[in-house]
Every structure is written in C-alpha cells, then in structure tokens.
Amino acid sequence: MPKRIIKTARHREEHFHGHHRFEHCYVDSQVYFITARCRDRYPAFASDEAKAVFWDRFDHWTRACGFTPWVTSLIDNHYHTLGYNRTGDQLMRMMQCLHGSVAKRVNDVLPERRSDFWRDHRGRGFMDGCNRDERQARRAYRYTLTPCRRHGVCDDWREYPHTCVNVEVERAIRRSVALNAFMRGVPYQRYEKRR
C-alpha cells in the first residue's frame, strides 16, 4: 500500500520562473534527512550560548513531535539531522516550532537581530528528504556525522561536541526496515542522471 504524502509549497503554481516549485513532503513512518542554514551563511551559532539554545529547542521539539533523531550535527551557520519521523503532519509542526523558537531565542543573544533567520533568497527555510532505501540512509548518516571534518573544525566527529549520535546506524536501519520507513520505488533524480 502506498504511503500517504502531504505536500506543501510557498507557490500555488507547480512551475515558478521556469523551475519546478520547491516542495516539502510530509509522510507518516518515514526516515528523513533535514538540513537548514542561516540566511547569508551568517554564523549565528558561533557562540556556546547560541548552540545551547539550538540543542535545547531541538531536543524539546523532536521529542514533542515524535521525531527520533539518529544523528545530528550543528555547525556555526547550519545543521543536519537524520532520523525517523512517526507522523507527517507532526514533522511540519516540528519544523515551524523548532525554527521559530530557535530564531527568536538566538536573536536574543546575537549582537544584532537577523530577520528571515533561516530563509534563503528564494524563501526556502530548510530542505527535507525522504530516504528511499538503506543505501541512501547510510550515506546520509555518514554525511551528517562528518561536517566538522568538511568544514575544518576537527578531523574526528567524536572530538566535536556538537555532533550527537542517538542511534547507531545499523540498528536504526534494521528498525526502519521493520517499520517500512523507506520510500521505496521512488526514483532519486540525482542518481538517475548518472545512469
């Protein structure tokens, strides 16, 4: 049986300025990769105080909305998380509440307030992706685990205090397979072009 998908977009028209509109898909019982960056790559999370605000709100809203993070990394201007989402409509709520509360509270500690804290120049506040299979989940896990190395913070994620592993990858994948939490059969455009 196919999964119920709720799609949201900022534009009514499917195509906007010659491009397909940017959409968010909310699906029940699904593994998600989520990432968001501060507008203009501003290092809003450079201070320990701002990072503490993020982690406090992240822990609160993921728990409140039924999102189980497997691995999460926070860098000075963005974060990545990979995890299991129980209900699609709660993910929508989680993202609104998480981003709203983080923007408000981090703005309170910044030297000057940042409007459109998360949104880029196209109005995108975050990117979310439903993982299609175990291979994609393993790749997303590794990618989420290692931004400290990619951004020159440190060589080993174990030394970086703002990479948090909640569930070991193989255990998470076994559980997700049992829950049918991958969106199998949906082509992934990036990989299809290479064939």
What pLDDT tens digit does each residue of the chain (195 aa) get? 566 666 655 556 665 666 644 465 778 899 999 999 999 999 999 999 999 999 999 999 999 999 999 999 999 999 999 999 999 889 889 989 999 999 999 999 999 999 889 876 555 556 777 888 999 999 999 999 999 999 989 999 999 999 999 999 999 999 999 999 998 766 555 555 555
Domain presence at residue 31? yes
Domain presence at residue 194? no
Q: Report how many domains make up the chain.
A: 1
Domain presence at residue 119? yes
Domain presence at residue 166? yes
Cα dihedral value 20, 91, 59, 153, nearest 10: -20
* Torsional sign, CA 184, 83, 125, 12: positive
On whether the CB atoms of residues 86 and 72 are closer than 8 A, the answer is no
Tokens for 130? Answer: 């439903």
Q: Which of 91, 128, 123, 125 is nearest to 19 (CA)?
A: 123
Domain presence at residue 195? no
Look at the chain and count its residues: 195
Question: Is this structure's pTM higher than 0.75?
Answer: yes
**100 vs 20, 29, 58, 86, CA distance in Å?**
26, 24, 11, 21
pLDDT per residue over 107-154, tens digit each?
999 999 998 898 765 555 567 778 889 999 999 999 999 999 999 899
- Spatial distance between the Cα atoms of 6 and 91, rounded to a whole number of angstroms: 11
- Spatial distance between the Cα atoms of 9 and 185, rounded to a whole number of angstroms: 23
Ranges assigned E (strand) in 29-90: 30-37, 67-74, 78-85
Range of the domain at 177: 5-189
On whether the CB atoms of residues 89 and 75 are closer than 8 A, the answer is no
Return the CATH number at 30. Answer: 3.30.70.1290
Domain presence at residue 32? yes
**174 vs 90, 112, 132, 137, 144, CA distance in Å?**
23, 46, 14, 11, 19
